[in-house]
Structure 1
Amino acid sequence: MATEQAVSSPGPVPVPTPPPSPSPARSLARRVRNRLDGFFALLTRRPVSLYGTAVLRIGYGLLYLAFLLREFPHRDEIWGPGSPWTPALARELFYDTGWASILTLSDSRPYFECCYALAVITAALFMLGWRTRAVSVLFAVVVASFHARSIFMTDGGDNLILLMAMYLVFTGCGRRWSLDARRARLRAARQNGPVRPGDEDEEGDGLRPNLLFARRTLVTVAHNCALFVIAAQVCFLYGSAGLYKVQGGSWGNGTALHYVLNLNLFQPWPALSHLADSHPALLGAACYLTVLPQVAFPFVLFGRLKYPVLTMLFGMHLGIAVLMGLPLFSGAMIIADSVFLPDRFYESLRRLCRRATGRADVPEASLPGAGPAAVPQQAGPRQAEREQEASADQPRS
């Protein structure tokens, strides 16, 4: 009987021991590893900001085309054999500085006219996005050649266009709003298949799958790295300009724009400059609204504050173009700022334009880089990390 009671009486219920918590060092190492994996996925999975680089291509191609057409009557005095800065002097300077230019290969007038016509055609084709991979290289050579030929007549706008032309060589700036993207859509429509990422750049059907994957990964990494360099270039430009201004007292006391508006060299409309100079309170406020966005720009790129900052910078460059007569510099800066707008902004702008013109909207699945094999637009390191953790938690078959 005692034995039966001993058997039937419940014993103490074992309490499950909780799993040991990871050490702080191991937890930190895991977070660092996840961040690195997310950054690597962001760098290699897909090209980011394709609409932004397309805007850079269209903007700088159109701006340089307008610049060449504007200076067409004065082309010989600026870059040609009849320039006071002769080709011989340019070649002598190249020997010391390391620059090079296709314009100095010959001193003949027909050769210069052919180079000028080539520059105009190249800028137009680059703007339209025709064979962008090859034309972007030719556009960079043209911009560098004309820049080096008459380097003493350049300004900050010319320098920025030169840098952007070289950076855009490594980007997929022809994947949106280009003739290349249109040709890829038409080819996919004829084949009744989706447009694969990279097909709008060049044909890859003849490559083996592993070589095709390696080529697309290399193109994606080059695009994303070049885009990072473009963003860093603009941040350094604004940051250095703002920090340089705060070192002097004229921007702090609000009198810097007074001196700028009274320079005869920067008075395209003297009456307008004098009218603006007659409001000292507004000039003082404009001084602060010029310096503060430039200093704050590198620190607000990953938040919503970048939108009002970009708006203020747009107004500043518009004022520079009108009051100081520097449209090339202002246009180059406004185009560079557009790369910081997300792709969803340009997609909504595209839909709005199609609705305004009464055209049917093209679904995103038919665009180059979209479809089942593409990753959604504008993902950051945190989103890539969450996607990787979610895929790791799913049961494997």
Structure 2
Amino acid sequence: MRAGYGMLYLVFLLREFPHRHEIWGPGSPWTPALAEQLFGQTGWNSILTLSDSPAYFELCYVTALFTSALFMLGWRTRAVSVLFAVVVTSFHARAIFMTDGGDNLILLMAIYLVFTACGRRWSLDARRNRLKTARAGSGPASVRRFPSPQLRDARNTLTTVVHNCGIFVMAAEVCFLYGSAGLYKVQGASWGAGTALHYVLNLELFQPWPAISHLADDHAVLIAIASYGTVLLQVAFPFVLFGRLKYPVLGMLLGMHVCIAVVMGLPLFSGAMIVADAVFLPDRFYTSLGHLCRRAAQRTGALRPAPGQPGPGSVPPQGRTRLPDPRQRAASPRA
């Protein structure tokens, strides 16, 4: 989730780079003075309104780009996660009328990720810790950070509890999102009649490729099935999380979000939802995914062990190397 949301926000800032002055800059129609007035009512705040200088805005934008990239890579995650949450909050509050559901979800997840240990795996922090452990194992014993084992155990327990609470809140957020969206759709007459997607496909705002929208709209039966299926998936999602139905439902939701991104032109919203759904995948899924990638790399020849090094599937010889007995060496015939 850390890598996903960091990458999404980095791509988002890069995509809007030519239009940054019109959206968040001092020359935006929604001026900093208007934003300050809205902050007094909503309680939001933004670092972008601290100065009207164009140079200050450019500095903030470059900082946001680097922060998103570092958060995606997992460099000094504890500090960068806080900075990433500040960046997302500031850009969201500065032009709140330019946001949609995807921006709201990224904002919430950026805040929740601050309380998680999201740099423990697949990050530069994890790589640095592995190298540090390898060096400590081959060199002299390093000085412990905590002089007392009780303090170290208390720190680990607190980190685990806060991390698990953050994951639970993110999972509950996704459940509330899907459940409320499905129940809200049930109240609409067009969703009950199976014609809601017909009207969506004929809105010019959601027609990046009109030919695809018109082609999909020509199949009335498929439109009705997709409408009812969308409502059923969203309402049933919170109730299938503790059974085997979770995985096919997650697969169908993935397909639904891909269709939304392509047909309706909402890649940021779809990407935010896909990354949020990843919180329900267990650790063994990512472990098996890593094994599959390594096997595929070995089959294609992209990953081969170095000469003299054991492959990933072989076990190196265990124990200490035994030296030949001096008596046997003396008794052995000479060439």
TM-score range, shorter chain: 0.7 to 0.9
Query: Superposed, which structure 2 residues align to 1:161-176 within 5 Å?
Result: 161-176=106-121
Q: How does 1:105-144 map to 2 (within 5 A)?
A: 105-144=50-89
2:7 is matched with: 62
Equivalenced residue count is 299
**What are the equivalent positions in structure 2 for 1:211-360 lying under 5 Å apart?**
211-358=151-298, 359=303
Q: Distance in 2 between matches of 1:300 and 1:188?
A: 41
Query: TM-score w.r.t. structure 2 length?
Result: 0.87
Distance 1:245 1:303 in 2: 25
> Partner residue of 2:317?
none
CA–CA separation in structure 2 for the residues paired with 1:205 and 1:349: 34
**What is the CA–CA distance in structure 2 between the aligned matches of 1:229 and 1:338, rounded to whole Å?**
14
Q: Which position in structure 2 is the counterpart of 1:98?
A: 43
Give 3-state SS (helix, strand or coil) of 2:102's partner.
Answer: helix
Q: Which runs of 5+ in 2 are unaligned?
A: 304-310, 315-335
AA in 2 matched with 1:340: F
Structure 1: how far apart are the matches of 2:158 and 2:269?
A: 33
Q: Distance in 2 between matches of 1:248 and 1:295?
A: 14
Deviation at 1:211, TM superposition (A): 1.2
Secondary structure of the residue aligned to 1:308 is helix
How far, CA to CA, are the matches of 1:140 and 1:345 in structure 2? 28
Give CA deviations for 1:14-51 in whole Å, capped at 9, x if unaligned: xxxxxxxxxxxxxxxxxxxxxxxxxxxxxxxxxxxxxx
| 5+ residue gaps, structure 1 | 1-55, 194-202, 364-397
> How big is each residue's C-alpha offset from its partner over 1:80-107, in whole Å with a ceiling of 9 and x where there is no partner?
0010111111111111211100000000
**CA separation in 1, counterparts of 2:11 and 2:95?**
18
Distance in 1, Cα, partners of 2:179 & 2:206:
24
Identical counterparts, % of pairs = 75
Structure 2 vs 1, CA of residues 59 and 303 (structure 1 numbering), >3 Å: closer, same or farther?
same
In structure 2, C-alpha distance between the alignment counterparts of 1:57 and 1:93, rounded to whole Å: 30
Q: Distance in 2 between matches of 1:257 and 1:340?
A: 28
The letter of the residue matching 1:155 is: D
Go from structure 1 to structure 2 and tell me whether the alpha carbon gap of 1:175 and 1:107 turns closer, same or farther (over 3 Å shift).
Answer: same
Higher relative contact order by CA 8 Å / sep ≥ 6: 1 or 2? 1
Partner of 2:331: none
- Partner letter of residue 249 of structure 1? A
Distance 1:110 1:209 in 2: 49
Name the residue aligned to 1:191: 136
Give 2:24's aligned residue: 79
For the pair shown, which has the larger CA radius of gyration, 1 or 2?
1
Deviation of the 1:362 alpha carbon: 9.8
Q: Measure, in 2, the Cα distance between the counterparts of 1:102 and 1:357.
A: 45
The amino acid of 1:280's aligned partner reads A
Find the counterpart in structure 2 of residue 145 from structure 1: 90
Give the distance between the partners of 1:290 and 1:172, measured in 2 at CA: 33
Taking structure 1 as reference, are residues 210 and 290 closer, same or farther at Cα in structure 2, changes over 3 Å only? same
Number of the residue aligned with 1:178: 123
Contact 1:122 1:139 in 2 (8 A): yes
What's the counterpart of residue 382 of structure 1?
Answer: none
Shift of 1:361: 4.6
TM-score of the superposed pair, with normalisation by structure 1: 0.74
CA distance in 2, matches of 1:361, 1:319: 38
Q: CA deviation at 1:356?
A: 2.0
Looking at structure 2, the residues matched to 98 and 247 of structure 1 have their Cα atoms a distance apart, in angstroms, of: 32
Whether the 8 Å contact between 1:355 and 1:361 is mirrored in structure 2 is no
Cα offsets for 1:51-72 (capped at 9, x unmatched): xxxxx00000000000000000
Q: Judge conservation of contact 1:204–1:212 (CA < 8 Å) in 2.
A: no
Say whether the 8 Å CA contact 1:289–1:312 is kept in structure 2: no
Q: Report the equivalent of 2:324.
A: none
Calculate the aligned-residue CA RMSD, in Å: 1.5
The amino acid across from 1:176 in the alignment is R
CA offsets per residue over residues 326-372 of structure 1, 9 Å max, x none?
10000000000011111101000011112222345599xxxxxxxxx
Provide the C-alpha distance between the structure 2 equivalents of 1:250 and 1:93, rounded to a whole number of angstroms: 35
The verdict on how the C-alpha distance between 1:361 and 1:138 changes in structure 2, with shifts beyond 3 A counting, is farther
1:189 deviation in Å? 1.1
